Chains A and B, each alone.
Chain A
Amino acid sequence: MSTTETRELARPAAAKASPAKPRRALRGSPTVNFWLFTGPFLIGLTVFVYAPILWSLYLSFFEARFTVTPDKFVGLENYTYMLTNDDFVGSLVTFTAFAAFIVPTTWALSLGLALLVNRLRFMRAFFRSVFFLPTACSYVAASLIWKMSIFSGVRFGLMNTVLDWFGIDNIAWLVDPNPPWYWVVIVSARLWLQSGFYMILFIAALQNIPGELYEAAAIDGAKPGWQTFRYITLPQLRATSTAVVLLLLVAAYQAFDEFYNLLSKTTWGRPPLVELYYKALGESQDYGAGSAGAVVLTVLICAVTLLQGRFMGFGRGEESK
């Protein structure tokens, strides 16, 4: 009752505000426009992002083999299965180690390249392009070059040819997990692909450091080189470093492309996503266990991200916004 009353009251009021142009009022209404602008995105986000996430959660509590509309609730069974599955847990452990290694290495290499390029006087654009160009390559293309040419296990692979010049025997880079030479292949491919991208970030950040800081440091007697780097450059790069480490961490846990292609027929050296791929879309089509694994992986990534944010002082950079 009362709602009708208010509506009747409100209508003439609104009409008074824009008497001749009701369409104009609609067009100018912020709420309508908000949904007009964000609606398509939000609908898509709900259907293609939120729905799969929720569905995944749902599936993880059911026995879902060869079906996505399961009816047998199994509680946490999929989780206990995945968390006691040596392959999956092993790959989580391995990839935590992998992340702990590849993240600082890529960080250091891209920062080093940025420092080098930033100091160049001649051919600066050239070298920047050289280091940046690998970003154009996909992980698949890089895997192919690495597997078929550089680290080909046979005699005519580049590395084995070079080793041969020094009288060292051929190494089967990707075939044998003992010793695990395949890490050399994977790490070098990743460094080649990623460093240039993060180098660009660091160059941009380096150029934002005000020159006065270095002048002040010089007056205070800081020696150029290590001291200024340690006490001026590095702290000034903190926000960028945090962002870079964050991006690298997430990328490390989501590694898929190069492992899938470089180690295509192996049962070892599988990152979590490859494990999940074979679990869910392989022969067993175990969507329940696969989803439980995905949830575990997501929680792990979130935890590591938050931990890293805590550790490196995420949010301190907020002030500069």
Chain B
Amino acid sequence: MTTTMPGAPGVRESAPSPDKPPRVKRGGGGVMSSTGLYIATGTAGFLFLVPFYLLIRNALSTDADITGENWKFFPTDIQWGNISELFTDETVPFAQSMWNSAVVATLHTTGVLLVCSLAGYGLARIPYKHANKVFYAVLGTLMVPTAVTFVPSFVLVSSLGWVDTYRGLIIPGLFSGFTCFLFRQYFLGFPKELEEAARVDGLGYWGAYWRIVVPNSLNFFAAMATITFINGWNSFLWPLVIGQSPDAWTVQVALSNYMTNQTVVFHIIFMATAFSILPLVFVFLFLQRWLVQGIAQTGIKG
């Protein structure tokens, strides 16, 4: 894409880099600058991968290898047994916390998509006198970071008796003004003709939404689902406040507890971290298309 055409030096240059001043004339020195480019990118890429390397190395080592006198680049023997040790460890209910995270993240994603997409569609497409006022009420919540209100939220949830429950972990997080806003922006750009055709065929708003709008917006839904799932899986402050008993810990809270435990067993801790990241790595590998699309869309619109 950035190949320089002979006779048109640098014309197709779509993104000149600031850290490489044009010392090299683009016409003849393409090799030079692209070597530099790959060295820079390669170095950065290497640094970005170091934490992953450490994670895997530590997860598959013995503690003796990790804390030994000399730095070991790879474990002497790969310790697959660490996996079963992690799941039979009694001190932290890790398997339970993985399950909790899976349930919470899945229901969180389903709920957010359902509630926020409906509201976004209503705000974007259904004519109503006070729709603008309602929209401003939604926008207003974006100014107040939800994290700031965690104290009264916690009080509210605990007075409902939802501490240590899935309800308490999931429901308060469903009403995301930002997601609703993004859906509204998306539906504003949805082709009106499709809905009008549905109306002519005798469908109401509800029918048109489920039979025409949603099936034609699956890409956007997938993108939002991916991002929402990642956020749900990774969120920490709210599960920390709500999950008081170990049975209600999500995986992030469990990891945090490993760090503050009295006894530190390195290979267990790192194996736990590796497992906590694993589902999202799958999401990244298989759903990256939607994810990238989703981020690009939300970023540009937001």
Contact = CB atoms under 8 A, between A and B. Distances in A.
Interface in B6-27: 8-22, 26
A14 B253 CA distance: 58
A203 B14 CA distance: 11
A75 interface: no
B40 A291 contact: no
A214 B177 contact: no
Contacts of A48: 153, 156, 171-172, 174-175
B149 A145 contact: no
A300 B146 CA distance: 14
A254 B258 contact: no
A106 B138 CA distance: 29
Contacts of A247: 302
A17 to B, nearest CB: 16
Interface stretch (B76-84, B85-93, B190-198, B291-299): B291-299
A203 B55 CA distance: 28
A100 interface: no
Contact of B37 (A116, A239, A281): A116
A150 B54 contact: yes
Contact of A44 (B34, B115, B134): B115
Contact of A226 (B16, B38, B171): B16
Contacts of B50: 150, 158
B112 to A, nearest CB: 10
Contacts of A205: 299-300
B222 interface: no
Nearest to B33: A119
SS of A interface (majority): helix
Interface stretch (A4-12, A34-42, A83-91): A34-42
Contact of B15 (A36, A115, A145, A265): A115
A42 B156 CA distance: 17
Given A145-B273, A192-B51, A45 B138 contact: yes
Interface in B206-261: 206, 209, 230, 233-234, 236-237, 240-241, 252, 255-256, 258-260
B32 interface: no
Interface string A249-270: 0100110110011001100000
Contact of A53 (B15, B128, B149, B172): B149
Contact of B151 (A56, A114, A203): A56
A284 interface: no
A1 B86 CA distance: 76
A273 B147 contact: yes
A34 B131 contact: yes
Contacts of A150: 50-51, 54
Interface residues of A, number: 115
B235 to A, nearest CB: 8
A68 B159 CA distance: 10
A34 B122 contact: yes
Contacts of B54: 145, 149-150, 158
B180 interface: yes
Contacts of A229: 16-18
B236 A257 contact: yes
A154 B264 CA distance: 13
B200 interface: no
Nearest to B19: A112
Contact of A243 (B52, B126, B252, B302): B302
Contacts of A244: 299
B124 to A, nearest CB: 10
A141 interface: yes
Contact of A34 (B126, B156, B236): B126
Interface in A199-216: 200-201, 203-209, 211, 214-215
Interface in B23-77: 26, 34, 37-38, 40-41, 44-45, 48-52, 54-55, 58, 66-68, 71
Given A55-B156, A56-B151, 8 more contacts: A40-B115, A130-B45, A150-B50, A201-B300, A257-B237, A260-B256, A264-B260, A281-B151
27 contacts: A37-B205, A40-B115, A42-B119, A45-B175, A48-B171, A52-B153, A53-B149, A55-B156, A68-B159, A120-B41, A129-B288, A130-B45, A132-B292, A133-B48, A136-B280, A137-B280, A138-B234, A138-B255, A148-B264, A149-B270, A218-B9, A224-B26, A225-B16, A229-B16, A261-B259, A281-B241, A291-B151
Would you list the 4 A-B pairs with minimal beta carbon distance, nearest first?
Answer: A37-B122, A225-B22, A41-B119, A224-B10
